[in-house]
Structure 1
Amino acid sequence: MPTTALLELCDFLKARGSTLALDEALSCALRQWMAVQSSEADADRGYQWKRLFLPSGSRLRMQYAGQWFYAEVEGDELFFEGQSVSPRGMTQMIAGDGRNAWRDLWIRLPEEKNWNRASLLRRDLLKREQPRPVSPLEAVSAAARSMSEALTASKVLLDYVNRQSERLTERRVSKHRRKDDTLSDDCRFD
Structure 2
Amino acid sequence: MLHVNRTIYMPTDLLQAFSKHTGLSWSSIEIEGAVCDAMAEAMKPRSEQAPAPQAAMVGGYQWKQLFLPVGTMLRASFGRDPYYAVVDGNEIKYGEFSLSPSAFANLQGSGNRNAWKAVWLRFPGFRDWVRADECRAMRQAATARMFEPSEPFEPSDPDPQPAHNAGDYQREYTENKPSGSDAVPLSNFSGPGTHGA
Which band: TM-score by shorter chain? 0.3 to 0.5
TM-score scaled to structure 1, two decimals?
0.47
Flag the structure with more relative contact order, 1 or 2, with Cα contacts below 8 A and sequence separation at least 6.
2
TM-score scaled to structure 2, two decimals?
0.45
- Structure of higher CA gyration radius: 1
Between Structure 1 and Structure 2, which shows a larger proportion of helix residues? 1
